[in-house]
């Protein structure tokens, strides 16, 4: 469907109240921990306290004998998954690894690794049962640092892991799961012509997505094997597919009903409890409910990867970038699969550089398996690249925004990962930053201003939508994607736009896996773009059907009927006749029955997103404390379907990135156990830590979407790491290369710089 993006829109771009807002603020909305069934058992999980150990024996007899305990499961209850069946079309996830993460097989690979699960009449009995499970371990040396894990003599997590992506194929196992290389141009020739070359090393720590709602689910298995799951996730079809493959069940035997989700940010794109709940329900013959504690969320669910990055950049005296090079080493956690390839793709994508070479290493360590977190892999790579850009600007004496404008990717620029940009709005974000009052505001002593940019490619994917006209003329829009960032509102707005009716007449809903055809999960900034495209096409189909119904009522050819202002219009005997949507719905029985439309697509043509952030900080030279004084996030959003939610996405991403930059990190003791598995000690920003996050929405339409949508959720978390670090560096006159920049770290760098100055 084509639709001019410069057409005056009546619904898209407005700010109505969200359809699910009242239920959520009044507590009526049902999240996963709210859901209950009569007779449900309480499930709980025994987790390893060792970071790395061989399991010699598990004895569950005492636990099973405890009154009130109805079922106990270990890895023996999970089907074996062969190498051949581990992956589908060689694409992640690796289901053999996923199975071993659900319940440890042979070895535990991190403190918090699940070893066994029980179902009992109540929570207290379940906890007693866990204490009665006897596990004999052979404790092994562990490694949690990515560089140490890459050493030849490092403790091996997987004795059979041979590094992929290296020729000739290594003969010895290691903790390096794979090597990825991305080359564009001739990087050696590029550096040979450079007047200035800068090289630095960077490190970032794993950070958790920090969603408010911990993982929870309910499972019920009927006597014929039909299985129901109620849970909150980023994709009910993902939960169904993963459980079916992990438990060797047919898809049709599982129905997943999505409940409201209290945050995900990528962390709920996989399963932890659902397969266990099914196994326990199957064994006990009763529904089983499972919930993670916050401690278990931190110990056993995926953080974003920590990283070590070495990066180099070369430029001419006039600021033209001529070469960039980097080695990116990402922690995958206990199983392979870090987003290091995405880090390589996105690091220098905002810039037109003729020669780029990036090498990425995916490294396993004795930590929880990493999981997606907004723009997975991009923030840490961008932190390194944007720091070098800032250092280059200082070396050249150039304004950092002007340097970026000089080298900015534009339409036609070929990226280092091979694609060429079509219509993009990166330059517009830089121009808006330079013109923003924030950028020219004065700074005081101990204050600094940082700028950084970020890029995410955005994605489309398989998406479904169904629309039905109710008898009173209202419209239902049904999709298969959980609402994480306001997608109900955006779907309703796009449907209302096509139908040319008030958005209050459209009711969006999210269906279970048996009530709508397949959709990929909610992630990658794809839903408003891709599912919105399906909704738009379904609405268009609905309009065509309504016009046909009107033609039947008027007994005229359908090509004489047009749709306008929410109704069918035709000229009948020289007079304009009109049938409103409500009138057509009321007469549907005369024209063929209920009116509906259903569209399933594999959406293509996602528009890349770019953002540029400005950050002002003040640093206390006595303590190293960093206070964010002012922050502005500018982003090309394509078209803001609901501007308030788009602004919220920018603000939320910026806040998460600020936390990543300043405070958040997993802390471990010498035994590899996490010291801060809770919000008290894992320091995420709260409202009192932050100023108002100002936003500027740049709208360069994506011509491959009916309304110009690009997707907005990933980009905002990418620039903050670099923007905050550049601001702190300029405030302290010491370059910040390691995150988080907690007060002790910043103070140490200030004192170190002072010593150097004293020593001349």
Q: Indicate whether 343 belongs to any domain.
A: no
CB 70 within 8 A of CB 60: no
Q: Same structural domain for residues 546 and 615?
A: no
pLDDT reading at 447 higher than 80: yes
CA distance 507 to 4: 26
CA distance 93 to 244: 14
Q: Same structural domain for residues 451 and 468?
A: no
pLDDT tens-place string over residues 603-640:
999 999 999 999 999 999 999 999 999 999 999 999 99
CA distance 155 to 102: 23
Q: Same structural domain for residues 548 and 636?
A: no
Q: What is the pLDDT of residue 756?
A: 83
Q: What is the pLDDT of residue 6?
A: 60
Q: What is the pLDDT of residue 2?
A: 34
Q: Same structural domain for residues 652 and 547?
A: no
Q: Same structural domain for residues 535 and 554?
A: yes
Q: What is the pLDDT of residue 85?
A: 84
pLDDT reading at 4 higher than 60: no
Q: Indicate whether 559 belongs to any domain.
A: yes
Question: In which order are the strands placed within the sheet that holds 575-580?
Answer: 562-564, 567-572, 575-580
Q: What is the pLDDT of residue 500?
A: 98
Contacts of 525 (CB under 8 A, 6+ apart): 456, 458, 459, 609, 710, 711, 712, 713, 714, 715
Tell me which long-range contacts 746-754 makes (C-beta under 8 A, separation of at least 24). 746/619, 746/624, 746/625, 746/626, 747/623, 747/624, 748/624, 750/619, 750/621, 750/624
H-helix or E-strand containing 270? none
H-helix or E-strand containing 38? none
Q: Which of 603, 636, 659 is the last residue of a domain?
A: 603
Residues written for the chain: 760
CATH number at 630 reads 3.30.365.10
Q: Same structural domain for residues 657 and 553?
A: no
Average pLDDT over residues 57-70: 98
Q: Same structural domain for residues 447 and 471?
A: no
Dihedral angle over CA of 156, 162, 167, 172, nearest 10: 60
Q: Same structural domain for residues 520 and 615?
A: no
Q: Same structural domain for residues 619 and 579?
A: no
pLDDT tens-place string over residues 232-259:
999 999 999 999 999 999 999 999 999 9
Q: Which of 603, 618, 640 is the last residue of a domain?
A: 603
Closest Cα partner for 488 from 465, 512, 456? 465
Q: What is the pLDDT of residue 758?
A: 82
CB 108 within 8 A of CB 158: no
DSSP string covering 317-355, please? TTS-EEEEEEEEEEEEESSS--SHHHHHHHTTTTB--S-
Tokens at 412, concatenated: 């036609």
Q: Indicate whether 344 belongs to any domain.
A: no
- Which residue's structure tokens are 């207290």? 124
Average pLDDT over residues 721-750: 97
Buried b (16+ CB within 10 A) or exposed e, 369-390: bbbbbbbbbbbbbbbbbbbbbb
pLDDT tens-place string over residues 105-148:
999 999 999 999 999 999 999 999 999 999 999 999 999 999 99
pLDDT tens-place string over residues 314-344:
999 999 999 999 999 999 999 999 999 999 9
Q: Indicate whether 563 belongs to any domain.
A: yes
Closest Cα partner for 717 from 665, 637, 652, 628? 652
Q: What is the pLDDT of residue 522?
A: 95
The structural domain count of the chain equals 2
CB 434 within 8 A of CB 462: no
Angle at 391 between CA 399 and CA 352, to 5 degrees: 70
Average pLDDT over residues 32-57: 97
Q: Indicate whether 442 belongs to any domain.
A: yes
CB 407 within 8 A of CB 352: yes
DSSP 196: E
CA distance 640 to 14: 9
Q: What is the pLDDT of residue 1?
A: 33
Q: Indicate whether 674 belongs to any domain.
A: yes
Q: How far is CA 485 from the centre of its chain?
A: 11
Quote the domain boundaries for residue 449. 423-456+607-758
pLDDT reading at 53 higher than 50: yes
Q: Is 690 helix (H, G, I), strand (E, B) or coil?
A: coil
Q: Indicate whether 623 belongs to any domain.
A: yes
- The mean predicted confidence, pLDDT, of the chain is 96
pLDDT classification of 7: cutoffs 50, 70, 90: confident
Where do the DSSP E strands lie in 379-496?
447-456, 461-469, 475-479
CB 521 within 8 A of CB 268: no
pTM more than 0.85 = yes
Average pLDDT over residues 722-738: 97
Q: What is the pLDDT of residue 8?
A: 87
DSSP 121: S
The DSSP bridge partners found for residue 116 are 46, 74
HSE-CB for 21 with a 13 A CA cutoff: 8
Q: Same structural domain for residues 621 and 748?
A: yes
β-pairing, 562-564 vs 41-47, is unpaired
Q: Same structural domain for residues 673 and 754?
A: yes
pLDDT reading at 3 higher than 80: no
Q: Indicate whether 542 belongs to any domain.
A: yes
pLDDT tens-place string over residues 495-544:
999 999 999 999 999 999 999 999 999 998 999 999 999 999 999 999 99
β-pairing, 196-204 vs 307-315, is antiparallel
pLDDT tens-place string over residues 78-113:
999 988 888 887 788 999 999 999 999 999 999 999
pLDDT reading at 597 higher than 70: yes
Q: Same structural domain for residues 547 and 647?
A: no
pLDDT reading at 571 higher than 90: yes
> For 43-47, 79-83, 577-581, which range has the lowest pLDDT when averaged over its residues?
79-83
Q: Which of 603, 622, 655 is the last residue of a domain?
A: 603
């Amino acid at each position: 469907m084509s639709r001019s993006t410069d057409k005056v829109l009546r619904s898209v771009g407005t700010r109505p109240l969200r359809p699910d807002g009242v239920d959520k603020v009044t507590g009526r909305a049902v999240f996963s921990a709210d859901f209950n069934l009569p007779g449900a058992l309480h499930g709980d999980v025994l987790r390893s306290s060792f970071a790395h150990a061989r399991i010699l024996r598990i004895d569950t007899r005492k636990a099973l004998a405890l009154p009130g305990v109805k079922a106990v499961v270990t890895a023996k209850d999970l089907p074996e998954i062969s190498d051949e069946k581990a992956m589908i079309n060689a694409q992640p996830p690796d289901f053999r690894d996923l199975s071993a993460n659900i319940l440890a097989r042979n070895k535990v690979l991190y403190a918090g690794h699940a070893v066994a699960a029980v179902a009992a009449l109540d929570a207290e009995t379940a906890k007693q049962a866990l204490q009665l499970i006897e596990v004999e371990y052979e404790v092994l040396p562990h490694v949690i640092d990515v560089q140490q894990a890459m050493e030849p003599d490092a403790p091996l997590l997987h004795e059979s892991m041979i590094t992929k992506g290296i020729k000739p194929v290594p003969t010895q196992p290691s903790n390096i799961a794979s090597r990825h290389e991305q080359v564009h141009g001739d990087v050696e020739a590029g550096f040979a012509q450079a007047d200035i070359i800068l090289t630095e090393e960077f490190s970032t720590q794993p950070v958790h997505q920090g969603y408010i709602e911990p993982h929870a689910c309910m499972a019920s298995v009927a006597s014929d094997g039909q299985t129901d799951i109620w849970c909150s996730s980023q994709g009910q079809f993902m939960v169904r597919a993963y459980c079916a493959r992990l438990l060797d069940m047919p898809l049709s035997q599982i129905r997943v009903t999505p409940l409201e989700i209290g945050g995900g940010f990528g962390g709920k794109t996989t399963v932890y409890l659902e397969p266990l709940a099914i196994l326990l329900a199957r064994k006990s013959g009763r529904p089983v409910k499972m919930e993670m504690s916050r401690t278990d969320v931190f110990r056993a669910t995926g953080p974003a990867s920590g990283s070590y990055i070495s990066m180099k950049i070369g430029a001419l005296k006039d600021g033209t970038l001529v070469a960039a090079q980097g080695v990116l080493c990402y922690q995958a956690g206990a199983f392979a699969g870090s987003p290091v390839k995405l880090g390589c793709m996105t690091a220098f994508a905002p810039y037109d550089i003729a020669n780029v070479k990036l090498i990425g290493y995916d490294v396993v360590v004795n930590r929880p398996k990493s999981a997606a977190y907004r723009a997975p892999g991009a923030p840490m790579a961008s932190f390194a690249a944007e720091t070098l850009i800032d250092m280059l600007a200082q070396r050249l004496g150039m304004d950092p925004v002007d340097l970026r404008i000089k080298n900015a990717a534009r339409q036609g620029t070929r990226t280092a990962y091979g694609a060429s940009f079509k219509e993009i709005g990166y330059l517009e974000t830089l121009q808006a930053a330079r013109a923003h009052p924030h950028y020219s505001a004065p700074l005081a002593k101990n204050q600094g201003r940082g700028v950084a940019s970020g890029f995410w490619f955005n994605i489309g994917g398989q998406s479904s939508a169904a629309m039905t006209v109710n008898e009173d003329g209202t419209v239902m829009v049904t999709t298969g994607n959980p609402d994480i960032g306001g997608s109900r509102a955006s779907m309703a707005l796009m449907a209302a736009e096509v139908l040319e009716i008030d958005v209050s007449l459209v009711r969006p809903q999210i269906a279970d896996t048996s009530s709508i055809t397949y959709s990929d999960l909610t992630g990658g900034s794809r839903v408003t773009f891709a599912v919105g495209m399906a909704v738009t096409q379904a609405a268009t189909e609905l309009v065509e059907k309504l016009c046909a119904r009107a033609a039947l009522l008027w007994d005229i050819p359908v090509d004489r009927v047009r749709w306008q202002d929410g109704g069918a219009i035709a000229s009948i005997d020289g007079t304009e006749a009109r049938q409103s949507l409500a009138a057509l719905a009321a007469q549907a029985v005369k024209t063929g029955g209920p009116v509906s439309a259903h569209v399933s697509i594999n959406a293509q043509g996602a528009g890349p997103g770019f953002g540029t952030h400005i950050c002002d900080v003040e640093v206390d030279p006595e303590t190293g404390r960093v206070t964010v004084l002012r922050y502005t996030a500018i982003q090309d959003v394509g078209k803001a379907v609901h501007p308030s939610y788009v602004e919220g996405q920018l603000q939320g991403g910026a806040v998460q990135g600020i936390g990543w930059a300043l405070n958040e990190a997993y802390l471990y003791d010498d035994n590899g156990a996490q010291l801060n598995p809770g919000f008290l000690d894992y320091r995420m920003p709260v409202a009192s830590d932050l100023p108002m996050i100002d936003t500027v929405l740049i709208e360069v339409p994506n011509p491959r979407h009916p309304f110009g949508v690009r997707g907005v959720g990933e980009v905002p978390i990418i620039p903050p790491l670099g923007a905050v670090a550049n601001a702190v560096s300029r405030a302290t006159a010491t370059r910040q290369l390691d995150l988080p920049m907690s007060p002790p770290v910043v103070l140490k760098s200030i004192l170190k710089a002072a010593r150097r100055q004293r020593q001349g």
